Amino acid sequence: MKFETLAIHAGQEADPNNGAVMTPVYFTSTYLQDGVGRPRQGYEYSRTMNPTRKALQDCLAALEGGYYGLAFASGLAASDTVLRLLNADSHVLAGNDVYGGTFRLFDKVLRRFKLDFTFADTTDPESVAEALTPSTRLVWLETPTNPYLRITDIRAVAELVHSHANQPLLVVDNTFATPYLQRPLELGADIVIHSMTKYLGGHSDVVGGAVVVKDQDLAERLYFLQNAVGAVPGPMDCFLILRGIKTLPLRMDRHYENALAIIEFLEEHPKVQKLFYPFHESHPQYKIARHQMKNGGGMISFLIKGGGDAAIRMVEATKIFTLAESLGGVESLIEVPAAMTHLSVSGSQLEVDPALVRLSVGVENKDDLIEDLAQALDKA
């Protein structure tokens, strides 16, 4: 089946008890056992597995072309569980433009558990090669990155990482692209993670995370950790994300169409100093982006002339673009990463320019969006 069909049907069959077409929300924490240790349908306890979560997990695995999918209570819960595959004294090499919360988890929490982190420019495979050490066990990429939309050549880094003696795991945070635009497992990654809060959910009404793997042994180790650590989502959250995923391809195409129109407007605007968009010819990894992504997605960042003050004036002046953190919903959002989503990287090597404005372009009418940006830029 093709992606659009999988998005609607994968993991979801009519309910065998009553024929309900949509996956029911199984509000239950526990399940009947016919005898001691003989659960009637294999389910014992909802931290371990819940039917609504199973439908979502199976759908995620199908969309990413993986063997097994796991759902978590948030993107960071997913990331944290993946990092628990490692033993103390392991080294992790991560991109130097990862989401601020990922950096905070690595730098402020997991370092205390004797994991060592290096943040390198993964857009340059040479820098990755130089930063690998004899104790590197995991390489963490985000592509496109949040907030600069930098692109890493997943296939090139996968080849490099897998030729390293330790065979480190290659993890790709696929939140910005979604499996509709980019399938990292097919490009050589071992693990894909998502904040499902963003495009997969798609309606800014739920927080969730996902992990998908292609290897059975890794799936079993992660399934063990998912249950042992317990950062699982509830059934209602799983239902909402399943419903969101059904329209993912439609939404992603519309996000892209609107983003292209906005790019055309911004590139001519005198107050815009520099644009960051993977499918714009000025992007340093434009060719790689076109090669590994189906389209450029709905995220745009740009530097505004006049510095941080101008950025703040602009984002406070929009009327349709909502000033808010997060991204990937049907509604357009605007923010200043340095003062909002990426505050936790301030003063670190991941520091973000205060003049950077980030747009999550929604699926509204593009003319309305452009008009809104125009009047806000006038006030910057």
Ligand X SMILES: Cc1ncc(COP(=O)(O)O)c(C=O)c1O
What residues line the site for ligand X (CB under 6 A)?
Answer: 74-76, 99, 101-102, 142, 146, 173, 175-176, 195, 197, 207, 209
294 as an active site residue: the answer is no
The least CB distance from residue 367 to ligand X, in Å, is 28
Helix (H, G, I), strand (E, B) or coil at 219: helix
Separation CA 212–CA 8 (nearest Å): 18
From the list 26, 68, 99, 277, the catalytic residue is 99
Helix (H, G, I), strand (E, B) or coil at 52: helix
C-beta closer to ligand X: residue 175 or 182: 175
Separation CA 15–CA 23 (nearest Å): 7
The least CB distance from residue 152 to ligand X, in Å, is 13
C-beta closer to ligand X: residue 264 or 351: 351
From the list 47, 246, 290, 305, the catalytic residue is 47
Amino acid identity, residue 311?
A: A
From the list 84, 198, 254, 366, the catalytic residue is 198
The least CB distance from residue 74 to ligand X, in Å, is 3
Q: How far is CA 98 from CA 13, 71, 327, in A?
A: 37, 21, 15
Cβ count near 138 (within 10 Å): 23
C-beta closer to ligand X: residue 207 or 260: 207
* Minimal CB distance residue for ligand X: 75
Q: Which DSSP string do the residues of 153-211 spell out, in sequence order?
A: -HHHHHHHHHTSTT-PEEEEE-TTTHHHH--GGGGT-SEEEEETTTTTT-SSS---EEE
C-beta closer to ligand X: residue 117 or 265: 117
* Omega before residue 168 within 30° of 0, cis: no
The least CB distance from residue 1 to ligand X, in Å, is 28
198 as an active site residue: the answer is yes
243 as an active site residue: the answer is no
From the list 153, 173, 237, 372, the catalytic residue is 173
The least CB distance from residue 70 to ligand X, in Å, is 14
251 as an active site residue: the answer is no
C-beta closer to ligand X: residue 241 or 377: 241
Run of H or E residues at 364: none
Q: Which DSSP string do the residues of 246-268 spell out, in sequence order?
A: HTHHHHHHHHHHHHHHHHHHHHH
What residues are labeled active site?
Answer: 47, 99, 173, 198
